[in-house]
Amino acid sequence: MIKRVSVLALACLAVLSVQAQGIRLPHASLGSTPRPAVVDSSPKQADYIVAVVNSEPVTNNEVRQRAARALQQLAQQGITPPSMDQVLHQTLERIINEKAQAQVAVENGLKIEDSSVDLAEQNVARQNQMTVEQLHRRLTQDGMTVAQLREDLRNQLLLARVREREVEPRVKITDADIDQYLQDQLAAQASSGGEVDIAQILVAVPESASASEVAELKARAERILNQARSGTDFAQLARDYSDGLDREKGGDMGLRPTDRYPELFVSGVQGLPINGLAGPLRSGAGFHILKLLDRKGGQAQGLTITQSHARHILLRTGPKLTEAAAIAQIEGYRQRIVDGGASFADVAREHSQDGSAKQGGDLGWANPGQFVPEFEEALDALQPGQVSAPVVSRFGVHLIQLVERREQPLSTRDQRELARNALREKKMDEAFVSWAQEVRARAYVEFRDPPQ
């Protein structure tokens, strides 16, 4: 799956050679909450293991390097960082969670081919207005190797793929859910709720958390809120501390009608000025810190919808066609189409392995949210007539052409389909938090002291 990785790009480009100090970590029994890591000022000549996740080690250097990237980002943006203890502890926790989730991916036979990493690397370069060669030179200047960048990209893609596979099946939407949603939508429109754009920082609270652990997590949320109120960039705080799926977007959940936000969020920002802060607010997922980014109107929403008419070519990957080979073929088809040597429809009829091939790859008119996220993202970026770069999804490798867009009145069927998409989106974040907590709870995590 290819998703935007601009946050990772910025992190990579911000890395400088930083001589970090050693990390002293306590022993901890399985399932216990470790104390924050502290700085060991004595020099260490060799790397050492600070934790083991199942059978996979986490090394002192690994934590130091990740922490150094975060600190360098904050310094370049003029943001006062939290204490070193907090940075090291949170970095270690994130690495542990990522390793546990990546192990689930390996157990399920998931892997990321070099071709997918190549595409992600090209996206990083393009989003930073560079060529891949310029990106490599910049990384070298900033003290990071190309191999490190590619390994980071591979890990991010693997985590995205396992999260998609594990989390999406957990989200079930019934007809009763849709009926209730539409009733709530009508009520919200009647009260002229308009649209709001909210960013959040989520401090997740496990279901099994004790009262003292809940109090500790609430205190953490309050400290983050105080940093935001003192002027620290909210988006950076979200990237550094949030447990929500939207953290890589700086916590921004997007401009939506109020009925597409949880009632807790809508009531939490009610009366706030733009850029106002609220929280911490408690939900079943944890403690939320909210920032009101924008508010628009109070008119009834959803009378019309922007639909997209697209074509695509799909090559399905498997034992007979690797992902790398499929990407190469798709790039060849794209070049023929862009150069005018063949029409998109003719190439689709000849080569596409989708049921739409007979129609020249024509997918008809589609509402927002109808396609898988990576396909939707690529389609949204196109202007009419444009052809995308290769797009990797769970179905294979796609080439997409946007034919045209239109504004269309909503039919009853369209309303129900949009309601289904909106409900799915609202439930995804909570499902991810729950899954991540389960993965961490199943993992054997052993913390180790540094050598004396």
Q: Are residues 67 and 136 in the same domain?
A: yes
Average pLDDT over residues 271-279: 85
Q: Which of 409, 431, 446 is at the close of a domain?
A: 409
Q: Are 73 and 11 in contact (CB under 8 A)?
A: yes
Closest by CA position to 63, among listed 41, 88, 44, 38: 88
Q: Would residue 398 count as lying in a domain? A: yes
Q: Are residues 399 and 369 in the same domain?
A: yes
Contacts of residue 33, defined as CB under 8 A and 6 or more positions apart, other chains included, come to 213, 216
Residue 17: per-residue pLDDT: 22
Q: Would residue 183 count as lying in a domain? A: no
Taking the C-alpha atoms of residue 292 and residue 276, their distance in angstroms, rounded to an integer, is 6
Q: Are residues 51 and 77 in the same domain?
A: yes
CB atoms within 10 A of CB 80: 10
Q: What is the per-residue pLDDT across 14-70, written as a single tens digit (0 to 9) for each?
A: 222 222 223 323 222 223 333 333 334 344 447 899 999 999 999 998 898 888 888
Taking the C-alpha atoms of residue 160 and residue 11, their distance in angstroms, rounded to an integer, is 18
Residue 404: per-residue pLDDT: 93
DSSP per-residue codes, 343-361: -HHHHHHHH--SGGGGGTT
Q: Are residues 243 and 126 in the same domain?
A: no
Q: Are residues 80 and 148 in the same domain?
A: yes
Q: Which of 299, 314, 335 is at the close of a domain?
A: 299
Average pLDDT over residues 430-437: 88
Q: Would residue 57 count as lying in a domain? A: yes
Q: What is the per-residue pLDDT across 436-446, written as a single tens digit (0 to 9) for each?
A: 899 999 999 99
Query: With left for phi above 0 and alpha for psi between -120 and 50, is residue 39 left, alpha or beta?
Result: beta
Q: Which of 19-23, 182-186, 299-303, 343-347 has the lowest mean pLDDT?
A: 19-23
Q: Would residue 312 count as lying in a domain? A: yes
Q: Which of 46-55, 242-251, 310-319, 412-421 has the lowest mean pLDDT?
A: 412-421
Residue 335: per-residue pLDDT: 93
pLDDT of residue 452 exceeding 60, the answer is: yes
pTM above 0.75, yes or no: no
Q: Would residue 435 count as lying in a domain? A: no
Residue 403: per-residue pLDDT: 93
Q: Are residues 345 and 397 in the same domain?
A: yes
Q: Which of 375, 393, 409 is at the close of a domain?
A: 409
Count Cβ atoms within 10 A of the Cβ of residue 386 and give its class: 0-12 exposed, 13-18 middle, 19 or more buried. exposed
Q: Would residue 448 count as lying in a domain? A: no
Q: Are residues 367 and 290 in the same domain?
A: no
Q: Are residues 234 and 312 in the same domain?
A: no
Confidence of residue 187 (pLDDT cuts 50, 70, 90): low
At 452, the amino acid letter reads Q
Dihedral over alpha carbons 88, 434, 375, 195 (to 10 degrees) = -90
Q: Are residues 231 and 363 in the same domain?
A: no
Residue 36: per-residue pLDDT: 36
Q: Would residue 420 count as lying in a domain? A: no
Q: Are residues 90 and 122 in the same domain?
A: yes
CATH number of the domain within which 43 lies? 1.10.4030.10
Residue 50: per-residue pLDDT: 92
Q: Would residue 441 count as lying in a domain? A: no
Full domain range(s) for residue 59: 6-167
Q: Are residues 152 and 64 in the same domain?
A: yes
Average pLDDT over residues 102-121: 87
192 DSSP 8-state letter: T
CATH number of the domain within which 206 lies? 3.10.50.40
End-to-end CA distance of the chain: 44
Q: Are 95 and 62 in contact (CB under 8 A)?
A: yes
What are the C-alpha distances in Å from 323 to residues 239, 300, 361? 31, 45, 20
Number of domains in the chain: 3
| Mean of all residue pLDDT scores within the chain | 81
Rg (C-alpha) for the chain, rounded Å, is 23
pLDDT of residue 147 exceeding 60, the answer is: yes
Query: With left for phi above 0 and alpha for psi between -120 and 50, is residue 78 left, alpha or beta?
Result: left
Q: Are residues 156 and 54 in the same domain?
A: yes
